[in-house]
Chains A and B, each alone.
Chain A
Amino acid sequence: MQQTPIRLRGLTKRFGSLTAVDNVDLDVPAGAIMGFLGPNGAGKTTTMRLLIGALRPTSGTAQVLGADLAADVTSRRRVGYLPGDLRVDPKLTGMQLFAWYGKLRGGLDTRRVVDLIERLDLDPDRPFGTLSKGNRQKVGIIQALQHDPDVLILDEPTTGLDPLAQREFLTLLREAAARGTAVLFSSHVLPEVERIADTVAIIRAGQIVTRSTIDELLDRARRRLELRFAEPIAAGVFDGVPGVVDVQIDDHTATLTVEGAVGPALHAATSHALLVRINPAGDDLEDLFVSLYGTPTPTQER
């Protein structure tokens, strides 16, 4: 039987008195995309650095393809990693980096690299140091995907990408998952995870607090919507509308807190007055925490 490509058991990492990762169990099966959600400083990056072997666990295990990547050099051939804070020798061009890493991983797949460069629209001949943030991120993504790895570990991969590149990147992830790659990617924004992940793990102060499918999570999650109307609206418009748990009306604007599906609330909005604009309001992830735990996120520095 094939082992689970990403498998964490009791994974714990302490830095002095701070427990950055606390007894984490996590499985990402082949072909699955797992979103790894949590506020900054919750332990996402530390967990991923433990997975790729940059850090050694205080206790517990972080197995990738059945191996400890810190010790098993050959298994790294089948792993793609994108660090959250991507830094590359500023003098190397994208193409030089892909060629170098391709060689280290057992041969450069030129066709795959050229395909990725075209799809993400990167100029591969410019030195890394001269690239914009978004283009640097593309270099990082390509080096992680260029060898079609069986496991992808991506730390905030869409940072700095324009919407077009973001969409193409998500397509690339879906293609990888369809080929059987296990994908773990971290994010601190919910919508991005919604669009791509099958399952979600939420980490908070080093501990996994939720593991569920996206649908289950969204059923429980609360959203805030800001609705702007062409004319002032009366109080009571949203009374009794399913899912609406809170309403604040201020002249032309209504701010709703909705649990689960937003359809009924929108239906009520469009049938009562001239609706001009809908804005999501507030930080989705913060709202999610409030709805799941009733308290905002504790901040933790590392």
Chain B
Amino acid sequence: MLSVWIHMLRRRTTAAIWWAVSLAALGALLAVAYPTVRGNSELDKTFADLPPSVAALLGLSDGNLLTSPAGYLDSQFYANILPLTLLIFAVGAAAWTIAGDEAGGTLELLTTNPISRTRIAVARYGALLTLLTVLAVVCWAAVAALAPSTGLTAGLGIVRLAAATLACALLALVFATIAYAVGAATGSKPAATAVAAGLAVAGYVAEGLSHQVTALRAVRYANPWHWLLDADPLRNGLTWQSTVLPVAVSAILVIVGLAVFRRRDLR
């Protein structure tokens, strides 16, 4: 089990390092640039006139001012860039775990060893969790190291930054697990990527529009983006909605994906 886990980590490390470096740089830039935004009240006036759906996608709903630490961090990072970036990375890695490796032809030989398909799949999911965790921690550390010196953590503290990062990672996990489960059930990497990416984009747009379009209100409770953005962990800390819900949904998806993967033909 451990060796399958290590093998996947090795295989994905180079890519993960680049993602981590870029995200850390972005986080650091964000912290360093805050002083130029903080004193600019004109910005708040400009953004006050945005339609609610756009404001929501920017993380500026409910009077969250752009110049406040929470408004700035949400609108520039935790409500869009960070979850989207983590999501793209995680969906890519998840689509590889089974479907990508199967399409590459290297999974079949591994499965002839004395290790069950379930164990291979679980070890690979473990590696996916590890990579996502490392990325999230690096990202949090980069912001947390610089934010206090520019006043970005006023009223929040670095623990809130951790909460927001964790919630973003959990959102990425839900869509990554969709890719994982579709790949496990079908063996098709294109299907895995397309379903996960399609749902992620649709969910993001639907969550923004649901502030204006009442018809979308009913379905927002099934939308992982709503779980994250509505809970706003940066301002409110962690809630069951932004933590338990994504974890539970991911767990169910893993179980369903594995149940099919155990029985089906390899491609």
Pick from B112, B113, B265, B266 the residue with the most CB of A within 10 Å: B112
Q: Is B115 an interface residue (CB 8 A)?
A: yes
Contacts of B10 in A (CB 8 A): 91
Output the nearest chain B residue to A80 by Cβ-Cβ distance.
Answer: B112
Output the nearest chain B residue to A69 by Cβ-Cβ distance.
Answer: B112
Q: Is B105 an interface residue (CB 8 A)?
A: yes
| A54 and B114 form a contact (CB under 8 A) | no
Q: Is A242 an interface residue (CB 8 A)?
A: no
A-B contact pairs, 25 of them (CB 8 A): A49-B266, A52-B112, A53-B112, A54-B108, A54-B111, A56-B263, A73-B116, A75-B114, A76-B113, A76-B114, A83-B105, A83-B108, A83-B109, A87-B106, A87-B109, A88-B106, A88-B109, A89-B7, A91-B11, A100-B3, A100-B7, A103-B3, A104-B3, A104-B114, A143-B109
Determine which of A79, A87, A91, A105 lies in contact with B105 in the assembled complex, contact meaning CB atoms within 8 Å: A87
Give the distance in Å from the alpha carbon of A251 to the alpha carbon of B264 in the complex: 60
Residues of B whose CB lies within 8 Å of any CB of A are 3, 7, 10-11, 104-106, 108-109, 111-116, 263-266
**How near does chain B come to A103, taking the closest CB pair, in angstroms?**
6
| A89 and B263 form a contact (CB under 8 A) | no
Residues of A whose CB lies within 8 Å of any CB of B are 49, 52-56, 69, 73-77, 79, 81, 83, 85-89, 91, 100-101, 103-106, 143
| 8 tightest Cβ-Cβ pairs between the two chains A and B | A87-B105, A104-B113, A54-B266, A76-B114, A81-B112, A55-B265, A77-B114, A73-B116
* Interface residue SS majority, chain A: loop
**How near does chain B come to A299, taking the closest CB pair, in angstroms?**
23
Contacts of A73 in B (CB 8 A): 114-116
Give the distance in Å from the alpha carbon of A56 to the alpha carbon of B267 in the complex: 11
Contacts of B113 in A (CB 8 A): 76, 101, 104-105
Give the distance in Å from the alpha carbon of A83 to the alpha carbon of B107 in the complex: 11
Give the distance in Å from the alpha carbon of A79 to the alpha carbon of B111 in the complex: 12
Give the distance in Å from the alpha carbon of A52 to the alpha carbon of B113 in the complex: 10
Give the distance in Å from the alpha carbon of A52 to the alpha carbon of B112 in the complex: 6
Output the nearest chain A residue to B120 by Cβ-Cβ distance.
Answer: A104
Output the nearest chain A residue to B7 by Cβ-Cβ distance.
Answer: A100
Contacts of A56 in B (CB 8 A): 263-265
Contacts of A100 in B (CB 8 A): 3, 7
